[in-house]
Structure 1
Amino acid sequence: MTERHDTIVIGGGQAGLVTGYYLKQHDDDFVILDAGDRVGDPWRSRWDSLRVFTPARYSCLPGMDFPGSPDAFPTKDEVADYLETYADRFDLPVELGVRVDRLERTGDGFLVRAGDRRFEADNVVVAMASYQVPTIPAFASELSEDVVQLHSSDYRNPEQLRDGPVLVVGAGNSGAEIALDVADGHETLLSGRDVGHVPFHIDSWVGRHLGVPFVMRVLFHRILTTSTPVGRRVRPTILSQGGLLVRVKPSDIDAAGVERVPRTTGVRDGRPVVGEDNVRDVANVVWCTGFRPEFSWIDLPIFGGEEKPKEPVHRRGLVPDQPGLYFVGLFFQYAMTSGLFTGVSRDANYVVDHLSARTRHQPRPNDTTAVDGVPQQP
């Protein structure tokens, strides 16, 4: 049998839950499909010492404050529990253990397949992050079998590592934080270019009350957007190279005794090569080399651009050539904060407003243009 809903939301993380929150405000018929066993599990699977970059006052979704001190930086387990409580409080229709493996057109709507289950809907919101599949260089397979290898998605704590030196490959936020995590008990090398850092300590009074509000609420949220010339100019660079270090400073890396080395370029005799020709005898490698999108299950002609794999073509989450298809949760979907709680909430609200307007065929006030019959805000 085919199950029918007005809207299907694919993904039950913060993007899917906040989309559900706004759909419920519009009294829409919808279901949220998630492959996990428990709401918040992607956060629970991160490394043990992980904390978010924003105080709790900026790490919540609409309708529900984060518990505890608003100035505290929540741990990954606290975020996971918050999301689970959020879904319960607003009675969001999340179906767990449902892994979507195909999305296609059927008539004027969409068909979603998940194993032997079929769902039909007029609208589909893909509420998933851009980066889903861990990436590791092909030459990693040439490392000796006695070298422990972990991607950052599998790293939990230093107890997973062998005695001996650790090479952390990738000097972005994940790499810098994991390097500090292992440096107490291991000789640690951090491989990669200096990506820069925000010019304040986020844990300080100045950081919590001045720095973070300016960066997260003004610079990243209102200036670096696809609506501003500067945002459009820097977006390709940020998408390809990532952002600045937020919590860790170069002085923190130096104080921990972490050795900075050039990028890892290959393997020789079972050991990694950094820079031109420097073989390092390490016992462990942690690959903080990022993730790639995985939308191959979407059987629709919506992909373009020069990225490989290609990402969906959209305008603030609306797919122009596929009326009724939307995205929420993509990195820099509209702004630098699109991957954070504040930004994803704004993106979801925008998408649901348009989705509901399309469903009800009602024009919205102050609209000046339309895409595929859907009113557009200036």
Structure 2
Amino acid sequence: MDRFGTVVIGGGQAGLVMGYYLRRLGESFVILEADARIGDSWRRRYDSLRLFSRPRYASLPGLRIPVPDCPTRDELADYLERYAAHFELPVHTGVQVTRVSRDARGFLVDTDSGEYLADRVVVASGWHAVPHRPAFAAELDPAIRQVHSLDYRNPSQLADGEVLVVGAANSGTDIALEAVKTHPTRLAGRHPGQVPIDIDKPSGHFLTPVVMFAFKHVLTRRTPMGRKAMASMQGHGVGLVRNKLEQVEAAGVVRHGRIESVRDGYPVTADGEVLSDVRTVVWCTGSGPDHSWLDLPGAAQHRRGIAVGEPGLMYLGAEFQFAVASATIQGLDRDARYLTRHVRDLGRRSADRMVPADRR
């Protein structure tokens, strides 16, 4: 059994940023990544995915992403792999964590490749692993093909005929705009709000820093405006960034309000319309983390990433961990530095306890 000061669970962007700062701290640590390659969680996203952020905001600390504009999913995945190699971060790939528990020695991290012992654990395994669907999805006619956005890759997965995309946020509008090129397409869901600039135009280049600054420094848990924004976004995600609903409608996508039930096997809108021509439903209804392997009674709640009831347990990359930007690449840096200071302070307190009182 290997012992480390800190075990980081997850080798995506959050885990790598944490590793960058732990290395600078001189901490003994290891990063455990379930996938065979760093960046594979991005490679599994839909083929046409392109980030909202230009290199300044899509780069991790210490190494700029080598692309001229907003990176594609594969460009970001390859960059994460290069980042880990560049800083020689100790990432163990193909290691699936099955249980994290605690005994008198510290945290015991069980994996399918062996056991690790740690004084501290940082959970950076992502917050979008378990797809969310409404309960009535099970009532749809079995002949209707159902795909969640986590599993969607491209239009080849869509059945012939009409497509209904449920969820009008960023992934939903991306998929609807792609589907409408080959299929009659409907988009259902509440308006999530939208950034009032076109980020791909020169004017958007100029105003993007203002929006990014607001997401990171204004809309935080310390400000009334930030707390109000987070409460309104809870369960709905951030507003539209690249796409605008007028663009969706101009492309020929038919808009609806919420889907609230199923009748005779078909989805029903909030105003009672039965969508009986639908042959594929793409659920863009959100997702959540899978922390079922955390066998720790005090793991449920955290404040700014530090578990309230489990000393030494931390989270990075959580939705609204400190700011609206916390779950984005540009927001990880500040949250990781905050956790690194916590790791440093825990280490100092542990060292003090090992020194006899008369020698302190």
Q: How many residues align?
A: 350
1:352 alignment partner, SS class: helix
What secondary structure, in the 3-state scheme, does the structure 2 residue paired with 1:64 have? coil
Of the candidates 265, 268, 293, which is equivalent to residue 297 of structure 1? 293
Question: 1:254 is paired with a residue of what secondary structure?
Answer: helix
Alignment equivalent of 2:322, drawn from 312, 315, 334: 334
Contact 1:172 / 1:245 at 8 angstroms: preserved in 2? yes
* Distance in structure 1 (CA, Å) of the matches to 2:274 and 2:148: 21
The letter of the residue matching 2:20 is Y
Structure 2 matches for 1:346-365, cutoff 5 A?
346-361=334-349
Moved more, 35-44 or 349-358: 349-358
Q: 1:99-114 maps to which residues of 2 (within 5 A)?
A: 99-107=96-104, 109-114=106-111
Which residue of 2 is the match for residue 62 of structure 1?
61
Partner of 2:309 in structure 1? 321
Aligned residue in 1 for 2:172: 175
**1:372 aligned residue:** none
User: Are 1:265 and 2:264 counterparts?
Assistant: no
The TM-score normalised by the length of structure 2 is 0.93
Report what 1:190 is aligned to.
Answer: 187
Q: CA deviation at 1:108?
A: 5.5
Matches of 2:292 and 2:140, distance apart in 1: 30
Tell me the residue number matched to 1:140.
137
Compute the displacement of 1:276 (Å). 3.9
- The alpha-carbon deviation at position 27 of structure 1 amounts to 1.5
Helix, strand or coil for the counterpart of 1:179? Answer: helix
Question: Residues 258-304 of structure 1, C-alpha deviation per residue, up to 9 Å, x if partnerless?
Answer: 0001211222222222224211121111000110232222122235x
CA distance in 2 between counterparts of 1:271 and 1:37 reads 40
**Does the alignment pair 1:284 with 2:280?**
yes
Cα pair 2:95 2:113 within 8 Å, conserved = no
Instruction: State the distance in 1 between where 2:193 and 2:270 align.
Output: 20
Which aligned pairs between 1:307-318 and structure 2 lie closer than 5 A?
312-318=300-306
Q: 2:222 matched to which residue of 1?
A: 227
2:210 to 214, 223, 231: 214
1:128, 1:330 within 8 Å by CA — same for their partners in 2?
no
Partner in structure 2 of residue 367 of structure 1: none
Tell me, in whole angstroms, the C-alpha distance in 1 between the residues paired with 2:67 and 2:268: 46
Instruction: Summarize the Cα distance change of 1:236–1:130 in structure 2 as closer, same or farther, 3 Å threshold.
Output: farther
Q: Contact 2:147/2:282 (CA < 8 Å) preserved in 1?
A: yes
Residue equivalent to 2:25: 26
Partner SS state of residue 302, structure 2? coil
**Aligned partner letter, 2:332:** V
SS of residue paired to 1:234: helix
Is the aligned partner of 1:205 residue 2:194? Answer: no
Change (3 A) 1:128 1:236: farther
**Counterparts of 1:116 and 1:73, CA distance in 2:** 37
SS of 1:279's partner is coil
The answer to whether the Cα contact below 8 Å between 1:109 and 1:324 also exists between their aligned partners in 2 is: no
User: Residue by residue, what CA displacement relative to the aligned partner does 1:100-157 show, whole Å, maximum 9, x if unpaired?
Assistant: 1211111152111113621111011111333320011222222223222110011111
Equivalent pair of 2:20/2:89 in contact (CA under 8 Å): yes
State the partner residue of 2:11: 12
Once residues 78 and 320 of structure 2 are traced to their aligned partners in structure 1, the CA distance between those partners, rounded to angstroms, is 25
1:247 aligned to which of 234, 242, 250: 242
**Unmatched tracts of structure 1, length 5 or more:** 304-311, 364-378
* Aligned-residue identity in percent: 49
Which AA in structure 1 matches 2:281? V
Give the match's secondary structure for 1:113: strand
The DSSP-based 3-state class of the residue aligned with 1:278 is coil
Instruction: Return the alpha-carbon distance in structure 1 between the equivalents of residues 55 and 260 of structure 2.
Output: 39
**Per-residue deviation at 1:244?**
1.0
Seen in structure 2, the aligned counterparts of structure 1 residues 46 and 189 have a Cα distance that, compared at 3 Å, is same
For residue 40 of structure 1, what is the amino acid of its counterpart?
Answer: G
Could you tell me how far apart the structure 2 residues matched to 1:117 and 1:362 are? 26
Partner amino acid, structure 2, of 1:359? G
3-state DSSP class of the match of 1:122?
Answer: strand
Which whole-Å deviations, capped at 9, do the CAs of 1:167-209 have from their partners, x for residues lacking one?
A: 0011111111110011111111001111111111010111122
Q: Structure 1, residues 194-253: CA drift from partner, whole Å, max 9, x if none?
A: 11111110101111222x11111x211001111222222332222232221111112201
Task: Output the aligned Cα RMSD.
Answer: 1.6
